[in-house]
A and B are shown apart, each in its own frame.
Chain A
Amino acid sequence: MIPLSHYLVLSAMLFSIGVLGVLVRRNAIVVFMCVEIMLNAVNISLIGFDNYTDQVNGQIFSFMVMCVAAAEVSVGLAIVIALFRNKPTVNLDEFNLMRW
């Protein structure tokens, strides 16, 4: 039996990697993948807690997260493509259309 702390540490590490990636990377796709990593980190901790408390709620919720993630991927990638069509780059530093 793997103790809960392992799950949580792994989850925290993945989440931090995701946050850092979102903050420092410029490529929209990479940022996007980092967001996915963060979601999956949450999933891991959810399942870890589930395992620990012997319930299924977390697992169901993690399915929910996956569904959202899938939906997000489709929307997000569509946005990225739309951005790429406007400017032939996906470098986020090039986009400040939302300014004011």
Chain B
Amino acid sequence: MLSLAWLVPVFPLIGSIVTGFFGLRIGKDAVGKVACGSVALSFMTTLIILAGLVMLPEEHRIYEQVVFTWFASGDLVVDFGYQIDPLSMVMMMVVTGVGLIIHIYSIGYMHEEYSYYRFFAYMNLFMCSMLLLVMGNNFLLMFIGWEGVGMCSYFLIGYYFEKKSACDAGTKAFVVNRVGDFAFLLGIMYIFKEFKTIDFTSVFAAAPNTLIYGGEAVTLITLFLFIGATGKSAQIPLYTWLPDAMEGPTPVSALIHAATMVTAGVYMVARCNALFMLAPMSMMTVAFIGGGTAIFAATIGMAQNDIKRVLAYSTVSQIGYMFLACGVGAFTAGIFHLVTHAFFKACLFLGSGSVIHGLHGEQDIRKMGGLKKYQPVTYLTFLISTLAIAGIFPLSGFFSKDEILFHSLVDGNMILWGMGVSGAFITAFYMFRLVFLTFHGESRVDPHVHPHESPKVMTLPLVVLAGLAAAGGLLGIPLIKGAHLLHHWLEPVFSFDMKAALDASAQMMIKEGHHVPAWSHLLEKEEHGLAMEIGLMLLSLVIALSGITAAYFFYIKYPTLPDRIMQGQWGYELVKNKYQVDEFYDATIVNPAIEGSFFLWKTCDAQGVDGAVNGVAKTIAWFSDQARAFQSGFVRNYALFMVVGFIGFLIVVF
């Protein structure tokens, strides 16, 4: 059953080719069916593979399938191979499952579009790339997927290519991602230099015996990889592309810029846990960048008025949580949050899409309000997901976020926990601000627009996702031993033997004649009482509720209050303008680059380099100019020169 793995990305690829090249010929209905059908086939194959994997004994739950050798040079061999293990299985389930739901939704959402087929071709291609990303058995195959999703994201953000802002956003996304890819590539090359292979299994197995704990090599490798992850997963300092990416159609935002692609960085870090565990400094960086992004993006989210942008900043912030978890070594928690986030954020985006659809393209929440009665299904699902993201018991977000906060305190420190908790408060606040402004209160909708509920093909996916968002927490029930399914399932991937690694490092250091530092404290594990865990849970629940209450207070009870308070506050202006980060990048990187390039071209190249070349030519021409005075063109002059020359010759000779 596992040998079917190679088929999983193939279905969407075929779907993409069919819809892309024959889309106009086969008609809209067929395009929708082909696109969704191919993803559905993928999903079903994934289920079969899951069954196959479950049937294997726990310690053997890894299956590699090499389809062919992609390329080989010297001792570098890169296989086009798949690796199915619990981690990639989780990702495959999320990608195909959520992907299928969003594809179905798209049939309804995109129905009025002329180039419907183009949309689905890109979406299917995206599915294919994303599956390659999560299924690849080596870093380069992952990189194919990594870049492939980047390219699809580029096209889908720029789907409305006649809008300049959409094109700009697409280009920006690709270029910013490339900054991350640049580091990712360096990381891969560094890995190859150290390990002479880039296969996941070999690298991770050899890591403890090859790299010294906390050494320069492993720190650089993991930092490079992490910079790559910040690009794709929109973390500080490379997050700026994600909010702009909202120029794409809403299903794209849901699939690519919320549920799957942007979490690829988290997947990558989790996948490389064996490397990251060896690099405490990188782990700290990951945790602080994650925590910092979580709170930073959340604050921006408080002041945005575009429904999708609020959600975009929320995504950035939530991914920050995942990195926070990975950074403190709680990879399971990170992946758990990835899964639940995929559910509720996809639901939120699709919900916002439904709202936009119902309002004929309006995205500004200041022109919404009171939509509850027009769009009951959308409202309900949106509310469930919002409660989930805010972390209200017993919805999925509560479990995953709480686990992250717990670990950030236990395995991290107070600062990280503080970041996480304040982020949680802000999240609850801005998400409910969004709900209240959109669905509650007085309607501020343009009187010419008549809001309506979306068709079934759109609401059904919403319901399914809301169900998942509500029940997703069952995957990881805390406190009770053995009830944390996900933890148990991912155990083989994330079981890292710290003691063995430290021993190996110590031996390597002795061999090289270095002093071995005292690492024994790293192995001490503090025991935490159940009481503390429950206490933290209650605390985060209280914080979430207070965030919601604050939002209620500001936007339902006293709707005029926010304006009065915020008027002229520099802090508010700063947050509303997204801390001016885009402007800062423009001023410090983009504009100098363009001006510098103009300088290079007009001054250095045209005048300097080419000037030197032409200067040589001109010098020669000048000498020739002097010489050509002799060429009068009169025959008799030439004859005279001949005679004079001849006489001169005679004089010299005799």
The answer to whether any beta carbons of A and B sit under 8 Å apart in the complex is yes
Q: Does A95 contact B633, Cβ atoms closer than 8 Å?
A: yes
Whole-angstrom CA separation of A95 from B643 in the bound complex? 21
Q: Pick the contact of B635 from A19, A24, A92, A100 — CB < 8 Å?
A: A92
B277 to chain A, nearest CB (A): 80
Cα A92 to Cα B632 with chains together (Å):
12
**Does A65 make an interface contact (CB < 8 A)?**
no
Chain B residue contacts of A26, Cβ below 8 A: 636
In this assembly, does B634 line the interface, its C-beta being within 8 Å of a C-beta of chain A?
Answer: yes
The residue of chain B having its C-beta at the shortest distance from the C-beta of A35 within the complex is: B639
A93 to B632, CA, bound (A): 11
The 0/1 profile, CB within 8 Å of B marked 1, for residues 1-42 of chain A is 000000000000000000100111010000100000000000
Could you mark each residue 612-645 of chain B with 1 if its beta carbon is under 8 Å from any beta carbon of chain A, else 0? 0000000000000000100111111001100100
How many chain B residues touch A (CB < 8 A): the figure is: 10
Given contacts A19-B643, A23-B643, contact A100 B636 (CB under 8 A): no
Q: How large is the interface on A (under 10, 10 to 19, 20 to 34, 35 or more residues)?
A: 10 to 19
Q: How far is the CA of A29 from the CA of B628 in the complex (A)?
A: 28
Q: Do A96 and B636 form a contact, CB below 8 Å, given A19-B643, A23-B643?
A: no
Digitize B364-399: 1 where CB-to-A-CB distance is under 8 Å, 0 elsewhere. Answer: 000000000000000000000000000000000000
Which one, A22, A97, A98, contacts B636 given CB within 8 A?
A22
Which residues of chain A come closer than 8 Å to B631, judged between CB atoms?
A: 98-100
Q: Is the CB of A98 within 8 A of B633?
A: yes
Q: Which residue of B633, B640, B643 contacts A99 across the interface (Cβ within 8 Å)? A: B633
Question: How far does the alpha carbon of A93 sit from the alpha carbon of B637 in the complex, in Å?
Answer: 10
A-B pair count, CB < 8 Å, reads 31
Q: In this complex, what residue of A is CB-closest to B635?
A: A92
- Docked-complex contact A95 and B635, CB < 8 angstroms: yes
Give bound CA distance, A14 to B635, whole Å. 21
Please give, as numbers and ranges, the residues of chain B lying within 8 Å of A31 by CB-CB distance: 635-636
Q: List the B residue with the shortest CB-CB distance to A24.
A: B636
In the complex, A38 Cα to B66 Cα: how many Å? Answer: 93
Cβ of A99: which chain B residues have Cβ within 8 Å of it?
Answer: 631-633
Cα–Cα, bound, A100→B643 (Å): 21
Instruction: List A52-100 residues whose CB lies under 8 Å from chain B.
Output: 92-93, 95-100
B634 / chain A contacts, CB cutoff of 8 Å: 92-93, 95-96
Chain A: minimal CB distance from B176 (Å): 59
Report how far A26 CA is from B640 CA in the complex, Å.
13
Name which residue of chain B comes closest to A93, CB basis: B634
A31 vs B640: C-alpha distance when bound (angstroms): 13
B640 contacts across to A, CB distance below 8 A: 23
CB-nearest residue of chain A to B638? A98
Which partner residue on chain A sits nearest B640 by CB separation? A23
CB distance from A87 to the nearest CB of B (A): 14
Residues of B within 8 A of A95 (CB): 633-635
Please indicate the chain B residues that have their CB under 8 angstroms from the CB of A97 in the complex.
633
Q: Hey, which chain B residues are within 8 Å of A19, CB to CB?
A: 639, 643
Smallest beta-carbon distance B376→chain A, Å: 91
Is the CB–CB distance between B639 and A23 below 8 Å?
A: yes
**Which residues of B4-58 have CB atoms within 8 Å of chain A's CB atoms?**
none
Q: How far is the CB of B410 from chain A (nearest CB, A)?
A: 91
Interface centre among B628, B632, B639 (most CB of A within 10 A): B639
Report which residue of B631, B636, B640 has the largest number of chain A beta carbons within 10 angstroms of its beta carbon: B636
> Bound complex: CA of A95 vs CA of B636, how far in Å?
11
In whole angstroms, what is the CA distance A93 to B633 when docked?
Answer: 9
Give the distance in Å from the alpha carbon of A84 to the alpha carbon of B640 in the complex: 24
**What is the distance, in angstroms, from B630's C-beta to the closest C-beta of chain A?**
10
How far is B634's CA from A99's CA once the two chains are assembled, in angstroms? Answer: 8
Q: Which residues of B contact A22 (CB under 8 A)?
A: 636, 639
Contacts of B632 on A, CB cut-off 8 Å? 96, 99
A38 to chain B, nearest CB (A): 11
For residue A77, give the distance in angstroms from its CB to the closest CB of chain B: 15
Distance of A26 Cα from B633 Cα, bound (Å): 14
Contacts of B636 in A (CB 8 A): 22-24, 26, 31, 92
* Distance in angstroms between the alpha carbons of A19 and B643 in the assembled complex: 8
> In the bound complex, what is the Cα–Cα distance between A31 and B631 (angstroms)?
19
What's the least CB distance linking A16 to chain B, in Å? 10
In chain A, what residue has the closest Cβ to B624? Answer: A100
* Assembly CA distance A26 to B634 (angstroms): 10
Nearest residue (CB) in B for A20 is B643
Inter-chain CA distance A98–B632, complex, in Å, is 8
Cα of A31 to Cα of B633 in the assembled complex, Å: 16
A100 adjacent to B628 (CB under 8 Å): yes
By a CB distance below 8 angstroms, the chain B residues around A24 are 636
Q: Specify the chain A residue showing the minimal Cβ separation from B639.
A: A22
Tell me, rounded to whole Å, the shortest Cβ–Cβ distance linking A23 to chain B: 6
Q: How far is the CA of A15 from the CA of B258 in the complex (A)?
A: 102
In the complex, chain A residues whose CB is within 8 Å of the CB of B628: 100
Please indicate the chain A residues that have their CB under 8 angstroms from the CB of B643 in the complex. Answer: 19, 23
**Which B residues are in CB contact (< 8 Å) with A92?**
634-636
Shortest Cβ gap from A48 to chain B (Å): 21
Assembled-state Cα–Cα distance A98/B639 (Å): 14
A15 nearest CB across to chain B (Å): 11
Q: How near does chain A come to B172, taking the closest CB pair, in angstroms?
A: 57
Q: Closest A-chain residue to B628, C-beta based?
A: A100
Docked CA distance A63–B636 (Å) = 28
Q: Which of A93, A95, A96 has the most CB of B within 10 A?
A: A96
Residues of A within 8 A of B633 (CB): 95-100
**A100: chain B residues within 8 A (beta carbon):** 628, 631, 633
Q: Which residues of A contact B (CB under 8 A)?
A: 19, 22-24, 26, 31, 92-93, 95-100
Q: Please give 20 more A-B residue pairs, beta carbons under 8 A apart, in addition to A22-B636, A92-B636, A100-B631.
A: A19-B639, A19-B643, A22-B639, A23-B636, A23-B640, A26-B636, A31-B635, A31-B636, A92-B634, A92-B635, A93-B634, A95-B635, A96-B632, A96-B633, A96-B634, A97-B633, A98-B631, A99-B631, A99-B633, A100-B628
Shortest 9 CB-CB distances between A and B: which pairs? Answer: A96-B633, A99-B633, A98-B633, A22-B639, A92-B635, A100-B628, A96-B634, A100-B631, A23-B640
19 contacts between A and B (CB under 8 A): A19-B639, A19-B643, A22-B639, A23-B636, A24-B636, A31-B636, A92-B636, A93-B634, A95-B633, A95-B634, A95-B635, A96-B633, A96-B634, A97-B633, A99-B631, A99-B632, A99-B633, A100-B628, A100-B633
